[in-house]
Amino acid sequence: MAERVLITGGAGFVGLHLARRLVRDGAEVVLLDDFSRGRADADLDEVRRRAEVIAHDLTTPIPDGSVRGDFDAVYHLAAVVGVRRSNENPGHVLRTNMLATLHLLDWCAARSPGALFLSSTSEVADGAMRTGLSTFPSPEGVPFVLADPRAPRSSYALSKIVSETLFLQRSSQFRIRIGRYHNIYGPRMGYSHVIPEFIERALSGADPFAIHGDAQTRAFCHIDDAVEATIGLTRLGTADPVVANIGNDKEEIKIRDLANRVLALAGVRPELAISDPPAGSPDRRLPELSVLRRTLGYEPKVDLDTGLRATFDWYARHRRTDADRDGR
């Protein structure tokens, strides 16, 4: 019998790439999304031909009968994400992400899917790294620290660590898998992230070309590698809960150097306008991947040059429209 899976936030960036891969594997896929950020576009239409799509806002309980049947796995990706959203409306981020997790877990408790995957974030480790409680690369076992709990940006990390805790408290009922995504990128990720922002500026001929926090470093992970790790973790047969960083630790890069690679792809050489990084932005992100390597034998396969080229080409074919200007 084919694997049957539910993906919340299934019309979003990671969700749709995950759905496409699972459908290709022969799984029966159901996508749940409120379309506040996920897009109804040609990419979704392609997946919709082989998957069921249900519109629902998880800030309210899932109505009885709206999502039918049993599931081998549930991937919980639905969340309000992005630095801009956290800074502009932190209360909305906290409320939405926590309610979505609570309502999903309530629904799962009555239906007993085999495995539950939660998409978490590198930001749960940022506070510990910033205060020197651990050294890079950042492991999964660092303590959770809110270096500045009053900062609006802290709302996202807080919502995710609460969601992690709620999931782990259900480990006697389900196989719990938590993946902390570290700077995932790729086609169709929206515009409120550094790589698509750089691509959009380069394609638009921006001169000067703005760079915020040019000396900060990141280790970017292509969506194909992230999906591979996500599915592998969720399919692990072990009963114990697993918390794993998902990323690429092989190619840490300065933001200035990333900008120059994007500009080279566009074939332009504008003047660079350097400014300070956004408030609360960490100087460095580099994940330790020992859990993935130990449990899955995972190694990231898509190098940064290859991934950037594929992402750049996608955005060049799908130029930004007025409908995208909310940062989706």
- For residues 177 and 118, what is the distance between their CA atoms, to the nearest angstrom? 6
Q: Name the residue ranges covered by the structural domains of the chain.
A: 4-324
Which residues are CB-contacts of 304 (< 8 A; sequence separation ≥ 6)?
A: 220, 248, 251, 253, 261
Please determine, for residue 325, whether its predicted confidence score (pLDDT) is greater than 70.
no
CATH number of this structure's domain 4-324, picked from the four choices 3.40.50.720, 3.40.50.360, 3.40.1790.10, 3.40.50.300 = 3.40.50.720
Provide the token pair at 127. 């506070």
Q: What is the pLDDT of residues 16-62, one digit of tens each?
A: 999 999 999 999 999 999 998 766 789 999 999 999 999 999 999 99
Instruction: Evaluate whether 185 touches 223 at the Cβ level (below 8 Å).
Output: yes
Residue 127 has pLDDT above 70, yes or no: yes
**Residue 66: pLDDT over 70:** yes
**What does the angle CA 37 – CA 43 – CA 48 come to, to the nearest 5 degrees?**
90
**The overall pTM is greater than 0.85:** yes
